[in-house]
Structure 1
Amino acid sequence: MSGDRSLDAKGLVCPLPVLRARKALMAMAPGDILTLLATDQASRRDVPAFCQSAGHALLSADEVDGVLTFTIRRAGPA
């Protein structure tokens, strides 16, 4: 059973998309996938930086019609 989730953070401004993603990832199992939707353009910079600092894998980052979609794999236990 997969614990993959999606999180709609559209309309939220920095730092809320990253904070919500962090909270969601903490509740997930290592290796689970989070799909994050955001409209704040600062997320282009903030989400990759968050993933790098927390050890999560940013699998993809796309933008369609102003909506940024980030696919993040939760890191394993430290």
Structure 2
Amino acid sequence: MAVGVVILVIGVILLFYGYSELQRYGQLGIWGEIIQALSPEARQAVEQLRMMTLLGIILGIIGFFTAVAGLVVKSKSENK
């Protein structure tokens, strides 16, 4: 169960960090789009933030189900 909680926490941190940084690019509006179009570094940074957000979602789901599975196994072993 503890491993699932740790994975869940890491996933949530990655999700919120990636999402909040993406919002900064989104707040620039059309200027953010122009910067991404002209700068390969900015485009790469945005892609990395999107991947970080996606990885956070995936780790969060895996961590959640791992924690739940740990609770179920623990409760079944206590009932025996």
Normalised by the length of structure 2, the TM-score is 0.26
Bigger relative CO (Cα 8 Å, ≥ 6 apart): 2
Return the index of the structure with the highest Cα Rg. 2
Normalised by the length of structure 1, the TM-score is 0.26
**Bigger helix share:** 2
